[in-house]
Amino acid sequence: MVLDYIAASSLLIGYTMLANKKTLGWLFSIVGNGCYAYVGYRTGLFAMSGFSIVMLGIAAMGYFKWKIKRK
């Protein structure tokens, strides 16, 4: 249950930082989606876990695109 709160707050912080055009927001999104994937796996909600893995991949791709663009 604590992991749910960590994931939700991490995603909220990440999305807020992305709205302010901060690259670090992608890292918070990656951590939050990773936590949701783990929670989905542990509770047997494999559809949620699979979707969280897809979202984790999208966040990672966004992070690397922003990182390359900023250099």
- Rounded distance between C-alpha atoms, residue 56 and residue 33, angstroms: 5
- pLDDT-derived band at 70 (thresholds 50, 70, 90) equals low
Interval 1-36: pLDDT, tens: 788 888 888 888 888 888 777 888 888 888 888 888
What is the model's pLDDT at position 36?
A: 87
Interval 35-60: pLDDT, tens: 888 988 988 888 888 888 998 898 88
Write down the pTM of the prediction. 0.79
- Rounded distance between C-alpha atoms, residue 53 and residue 50, angstroms: 5
Contacts (Cβ under 8 Å, ≥6 apart) of 48? 36, 39, 40
- pLDDT-derived band at 71 (thresholds 50, 70, 90) equals low
